[in-house]
Amino acid sequence: MLKAAKIALGSSIAIYAAHILHLDYEISAGTIALLTIVTTKWETLKLSLFRMITLLITIVLAWTVFFYVDNEWVAYGIFVFLLVIICEILGWGATLSVNAVNGAHFLTRLEFGRAFIINESLLVLIGITVAIVHDSKKEKLFSKVSDAVLARAFKEIGLKSTVLKKRSDSADVLAESYIHGYTLVADAKSFRMSRTAKNQKDFKVTALSGWRRDAEYAVLCAPYFQYPSKISQVYAQAIEQNVCLFSWEHLVFLIANNITETMDLNFSEVWNFSKLYSHQVLCADMKKCFIREFDKAMLHLTEKEERQFASLLEEQAATMVRRGKLEKCYWEEEKKKIEQYTREQAISELIESKKIHKKIKQIDTYIRSLQK
């Protein structure tokens, strides 16, 4: 039951991550996560590596077959036949299912441009990232996926980026401008809808500023609608320490409009917004929300209109409302199930939730080590 819940959660997170990036066939990210989760972490890691390698084989094979065979069902049959042979020769038969999914996408679209290849690569990357960390706690799981998505999103807007391996006392992502040479550190934030009221410590603005080290800029990427809407110490801290309060919605807007950094378009003006804004705001107003001012600055820099961004925000808000209603239904069903528990079931569930058996086992292990 627990494994089923973890797989279901991982698949859902993968789909949502793909949705954030506006990928085609976003449902496939969840399928890939499900198909990549196996019995042990090491097996999952190996399978994930094989999936990325065989994706390249799939792309070349699909391009070769689908362009020269007009009949779709014949073309797909030949594609799968050759794919099976290659994977079996390599001993990577377990990758067939995901490769077949990618192949079906290429057959449906008959598109082999850079954008669609990136789309397919991201679906696989998101799916296997979730699979690798599927046995982590929910918050850690979502955090790791968020890091991978943020790093990939930075690449989509023209930056060189990587997820930092160090997990404590460090930012999540390091990015560098190919063209203008600056560097930035970034922290990816995602909050559950059921999360209680957030305070300044949840955003870690001060900590992020300290994590920049030799980087010029520090960027916090959080959900747009979960930044404080009126007054918060978060804004004062961002101004004082020059931390950019960015959002996933800003990234979606840039990617959806194919906006990338160029010689003429330098994103450092975005990352440096808090410092620039500090020269305009009065000390008494430093705690006031400045997200709208940031929106205007970004739109001015990218030469886009406010109505375009407003339209995207409306779409994102509608999506969140739909997700919120689904999540609410889930918890209401959970509540009904709990209300029907017998006394014995309730006690057993409570003991399990407090992990009492694991704690006793750990104490026993420690005692035995002392008695040797």
147, 130, 191, 190: which is closest to 6 by C-alpha?
A: 130
In one letter, which amino acid is 210?
A: G
Rounded to an integer, what is the distance from CA 98 to the centroid of its chain? Answer: 20
What is the C-alpha separation between 187 and 241, in angstroms, rounded? 15
Rg from Cα positions in the chain:
24
In one letter, which amino acid is 100?
A: A
Confidence at residue 291, expressed as pLDDT on a 0 to 100 scale? 94
pLDDT band at 245 (very low <50, low <70, confident <90, very high): very high
Confidence at residue 372, expressed as pLDDT on a 0 to 100 scale? 65
Confidence at residue 34, expressed as pLDDT on a 0 to 100 scale? 67
- Residue partners of 297: CB distance under 8 A and separation at least 6: 269, 270, 273, 276, 277
**Nearest 10 degrees: CA dihedral of 341, 345, 349, 355?**
170
Conformational region of residue 244, where left means phi above 0, alpha means psi within -120 to 50, and beta covers everything else: beta
What is the C-alpha separation between 324 and 318, in angstroms, rounded? 10
Lowest mean pLDDT among 84-93, 270-279, 286-295: 84-93
Instruction: Quote the percentage of the chain above a pLDDT of 70.
Output: 84
Confidence at residue 39, expressed as pLDDT on a 0 to 100 scale? 43
Q: What is the arithmetic mean of pLDDT over 325-346? A: 85
Q: What is the arithmetic mean of pLDDT over 114-136? A: 72
What is the C-alpha separation between 117 and 24, in angstroms, rounded? 11
User: What burial class does residue 70 get, using C-beta atoms within 10 Å of its C-beta: 0-12 exposed, 13-18 middle, 19+ buried?
Assistant: exposed
Q: What is the arithmetic mean of pLDDT over 191-209? A: 72
- Per-chain mean pLDDT for the chain: 82
Confidence at residue 138, expressed as pLDDT on a 0 to 100 scale? 56
pLDDT band at 243 (very low <50, low <70, confident <90, very high): very high
CB 78 within 8 A of CB 72: no
